[in-house]
């Protein structure tokens, strides 16, 4: 395996020494480009008190291309599909190499606090969010209860 760019080492060190509140990102021992991520649901959101696990992978071309990030914990959210894929501009066309792992994870945390059903990835969820927001939020809360609270 090719050596790890200095930038990735620096980012990793800072993620550990100066973690973002409510977010942890820990690289695998055997693959320092692969991170186990956990994001706390923002308070006031239907994901409050939930811990959502994600996987984050830095492709060989990082930071010329965005990290690959996916939810592992099941989540009811209009911008996250069944496979955990995330519809977020900075992970796609709006990626910039000046962004970092921590800024991306902050953006994902912010997305949990501000679902955007007008730019959906999960269409059925988005439809429900638009037609019956109260019900959608109730479903999101119950999924959080069901899937995002198994501690380990």
Partner 1 sequence: MATYEDDHNITLAPQRQGAEDSGREHQSLFSVLNSFMTRAPQPAAADGSHDFSAISGADSAAVDALRNSLRVLSSEAGSTLAHELMEQLENNSSDFTGDKGVSDAFIDDMERVSVKDLKLIKTATDTCAICTNDFGNDQYPLLVALPTCKHVFDLECIGPWLKFNKTCPLCRSDVTVKKKLEIAKNYESEEEEEDWEMYG
- List active site positions: 87
Name the nearest CA neighbour of 80 among 43, 39, 44. 39
Residue 97 as a binder of partner 1 (CB under 8 A): the answer is: yes
The conformation of residue 13, written as its DSSP 8-state character, comes to H
* The only residue of 13, 60, 119, 145 in contact with partner 1, by rule CB under 8 A: 60
Q: Which is nearer to partner 1, 50 or 67 (CB)?
A: 67
Q: Which is nearer to partner 1, 63 or 117 (CB)?
A: 63
From the list 19-27, 35-43, 53-61, 71-79, the region that binds partner 1 by CB under 8 A is: 53-61
DSSP string over 83-142: T-BB--GGGTTT--TT--HHHHHHHHHHHHHS--TTS-SSHHHHHHHHH-HHHHHHHHHH
**Binding stretches for partner 1 (CB under 8 A):** 5-7, 10-11, 59-65, 85, 92, 94, 96-98
């Amino acid at each position: 395996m090719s050596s790890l760019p200095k930038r990735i080492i620096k980012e990793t060190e800072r993620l550990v020494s100066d973690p973002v509140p409510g977010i942890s990102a820990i690289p695998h021992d055997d693959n320092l480009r692969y991170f186990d991520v956990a994001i706390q649901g923002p308070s006031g959101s239907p994901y409050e008190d939930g811990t959502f696990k994600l996987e984050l992978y830095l492709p060989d071309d990082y930071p010329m291309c965005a990290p690959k990030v996916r939810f592992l914990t099941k989540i009811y959210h209009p911008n996250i599909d069944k496979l955990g894929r995330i519809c977020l501009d900075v992970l796609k066309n709006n990626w910039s190499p000046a962004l970092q792992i921590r800024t991306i994870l902050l953006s994902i945390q912010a997305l949990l606090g501000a679902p955007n059903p007008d730019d959906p990835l999960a269409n059925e969820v988005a439809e429900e969010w638009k037609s019956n927001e109260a019900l959608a939020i109730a479903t999101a809360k119950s999924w959080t209860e069901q899937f995002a609270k198994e501690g380990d």
